[in-house]
Structure 1
């Protein structure tokens, strides 16, 4: 459901996220999502990672398929978890990112892996 408003700033194309009402209604709500852990930085254990509908072997960084849907996950209590190649289910609070361009548009904070 995520959409983008496309504008120009100083000759550069800028994509601003637009959250339609059904998606906007999830802001601040607790959700459970299933997907694959994609690390943002190198290492074995992470507190913050991306959750993708596709495993890392098929992610956008590998040049296969299109860009998969992803959310940024921030685990609760600074807990670090080992990356897994198997699908995981996470539970946490949804945050819709409308301003920070260097991060994903949808976050799940205070998350736990079920």
Structure 2
């Protein structure tokens, strides 16, 4: 599943910046979605801050340029809320993507790299369609082979936001 989700993201990451593509940007919350959009919360990392990254095309791929406030979060413990995209079989996940918007298709990436965080948790987190809150150490990635911009290591699920 990781290969499929990241394959789609990787293909889109190779599209020149002037050509808009599905799966780029912070994500679009469909007004028909049964899930409410995430609300900004004090003490929880803002998706608007994470999505403030800009990209430039270099050698057939997009290279991120992170603003100083995002760079300052590198290797810091953060809390972030989002929607789970499982990358493993089963109802408990230790490796998943966290998205700024809910998924509408099992095989589609709902946002670009600025709207996704790869998460590795110490203890499994039960999969849910509802938003979850995760805490862990954020890595800001400037040259990830899968085209990801963010990763949380050593995370733990804190339940619903």
- The separation in 2 between residues aligned to 1:60 and 1:4, in whole angstroms, is 24
- The separation in 2 between residues aligned to 1:22 and 1:61, in whole angstroms, is 30
**TM-score, structure 2 as length reference:** 0.58
C-alpha distance 80-19 of structure 1, shift in aligned 2 (>3 A): same
- The separation in 2 between residues aligned to 1:28 and 1:112, in whole angstroms, is 16
Using the TM superposition, give the Cα deviation of residue 108 of structure 1 relative to its aligned residue in structure 2, in angstroms.
Answer: 1.2
Using the TM superposition, give the Cα deviation of residue 20 of structure 1 relative to its aligned residue in structure 2, in angstroms.
Answer: 1.3
| 2:123 is aligned with 1:72 | no
User: In the alignment, what sits opposite 1:17?
Assistant: 64
- The separation in 1 between residues aligned to 2:88 and 2:63, in whole angstroms, is 25
- Tell me the secondary structure at the aligned position of residue 56 of structure 1: coil
User: In the alignment, what sits opposite 2:129?
Assistant: 85
Using the TM superposition, give the Cα deviation of residue 42 of structure 1 relative to its aligned residue in structure 2, in angstroms.
Answer: 3.8
RMSD of aligned alpha carbons: 2.2
- The separation in 2 between residues aligned to 1:22 and 1:81, in whole angstroms, is 29
User: In the alignment, what sits opposite 2:149?
Assistant: 105
- The separation in 2 between residues aligned to 1:97 and 1:60, in whole angstroms, is 24
- The separation in 2 between residues aligned to 1:103 and 1:15, in whole angstroms, is 8
- The separation in 1 between residues aligned to 2:138 and 2:90, in whole angstroms, is 25
Do 2:63 and 2:142's aligned partners in 1 also have CA atoms closer than 8 Å? yes
Report runs of 4+ in structure 1 exceeding 3 Å deviation: none
Q: How many residues align?
A: 105
